Structure 1
């Protein structure tokens, strides 16, 4: 397995719902494409609700931007056949990277589909497609909220790597030490694949707080206190959020992180601002717009 050494910078969005959402994504994607990310990734909805939307969004993204797009594929698909059909569709569309995840179980669903864990999905893709796809997996520097213990979560991640994962992207976090500690822990288990930090810009603190409560991402008390102190002053919230996240990204890259993966939430400006603040690479001749 060959692992590239240069940093990878990527951007994630979700399939739009309805014409207004599609128009918003088209506009944001066109602006984000000017940054020249290594690839875009496209999520799916709980229960596969936007599965077809993921395929359509991936194909539209590659056509509109000329930039590679990586669909998320989850264990919550109903059958091995449906997963195989999707994999064949992605291969036919020119996709060469898959983000393989267990996925969040929809309400009322106790068990995933044919695969219970992401390592089984990774092994299936590898067995069926060999090296057709670069397989990306997820990980949680602050540990998965449903893991029985930190040690069990590390073991789960190591299983995914041994099943054939080529690289990983993390859940977002706001404490760089959590990332470095996680990388050290898995390195001690013999894991040497690139683990790219997931970065969530802070522009709407209420929204980030809700997301964080659901996914187990810790917001350090000093950040929370300061944000809450700004009240309804959105300008101050966004300026402070931009500064905090940029400083953390600098710390991550200086400490050896192999790139950054930005969660855009289908908005362009927050990622563009951070890209500019960090001086990340741009396509030849491009000057990044700032806000």
Structure 2
């Protein structure tokens, strides 16, 4: 059932104290390609780590060099932070035996959680005919990995139909996936409808909404075109005239994401996955609004409220 404008306003006006205190979050990063980019990633990771995420994931790029960066970064995060480090793993151009070797190496190094994906078909990439479902079966044959998979509220670009896309997700969950993380979206109702459809076909795994804080609207449009995500007209209007104003863009982007998580939290969502793009500021602010605090802030003495002239 659609929410009225008045209902949306009521949800957005709720106090922070009404949000779910048991909210969990996870953060996604991409492997850095330069020493400077690696410093940026660690700065973001160190800023977000005190929020005690359920896990942090690192994406998996095209090419052996990019993949090795993912493997190295995952092991560093695991060894240096104690956080649950979660590699993305794709099978679009990797033979099954190589995937088994990767899985065994991760398990040997204490990595127990993997985001299992098919990967994007691109020129120069070998299509082995394997799917994310095949990868889940392979991983489970090797060890009892905790597996996350992808879900698409706006339907996967290559899906035959919305129903076919939904049933593929059900097969992945039935094969052993513990949760599904959605592609980013901006229409909250599309996520809620998708969640209801998942329940209707017997998908019991958590459908974790993927939240993308917008920093650059042009970059967002390119991402959206590649992933079949609808960008509402109202969102475009929010960023009109901010092409040369990165500070305001960042504030507006954080505001949009905060609106999303507050409404979703009120609708019973208890876990969020943030596409950080290796930056911490917006994601940290959104988590703060959700009520997540580092221990030293959470347990700090409360300052007394300021009194007005009238007492």
TM-score by length of 1: 0.90
Q: Which residue number corresponds to residue 112 of structure 1?
A: 127
**Alignment gaps of 5+ in structure 1:** 1-5
1:1-291 → structure 2 map (5 Å cutoff): 7-47=23-63, 49-109=65-125, 112-113=127-128, 116-129=130-143, 131=144, 133-280=145-292, 282-286=293-297
Q: Say if 2:24 and 2:272, in contact at 8 Å, map to a contact too.
A: yes
Alpha carbons 1:7, 1:258 under 8 Å: kept = yes
Once the 2 structures are TM-superposed, how far is the Cα of residue 48 of structure 1 from its aligned partner?
5.1
Between the aligned partners of 1:49 and 1:76, the Cα distance in structure 2 is: 16
**Other structure's SS at 2:182 match:** strand
CA RMSD of aligned residues (A): 1.8
Alpha-carbon distance, 1:11 to partner = 0.3
Structure-2 change in CA distance of 1:259 and 1:203 (3 Å): same
Q: 1:11-45: CA deviations, max 9, x gaps?
A: 01011112111122122211121222111001110
- 8 Å contact kept, 2:29–2:59: yes
SS at match of 1:72: strand
Secondary structure of 1:172 counterpart: coil
Q: How far, CA to CA, are the matches of 1:88 and 1:179 in structure 2?
A: 35
SS in 2 for 1:218: coil
Q: Which deviations, in whole Å up to 9, do the C-alpha atoms of 1:63-101 show, x marking residues without a partner?
A: 221111110111124211111111111111111111000
In structure 2, what is the Cα distance between the partners aligned to 1:48 and 1:148? 31
Instruction: Tell me, yes or no, if the aligned pair for 1:70 and 1:97 is still in contact at 8 Å.
Output: yes
The size of the alignment, in residue pairs, is 278
CA distance in 2, matches of 1:51, 1:17: 11
- Other structure's SS at 1:44 match: coil
1:98-127 deviation digits (Å, cap 9, x = unpaired) = 100011123244x632x5211111112112
1:160-197 deviation per Cα after TM superposition (whole angstroms, max 9, x unaligned):
11111111111111111111111111111110101110
Change in Cα spacing, 1:72 to 1:231, as seen in structure 2 (3 Å) is closer
TM-score w.r.t. structure 2 length? Answer: 0.84
**Residues 250 and 60 of structure 1, relative CA distance in 2, 3 Å threshold:** same
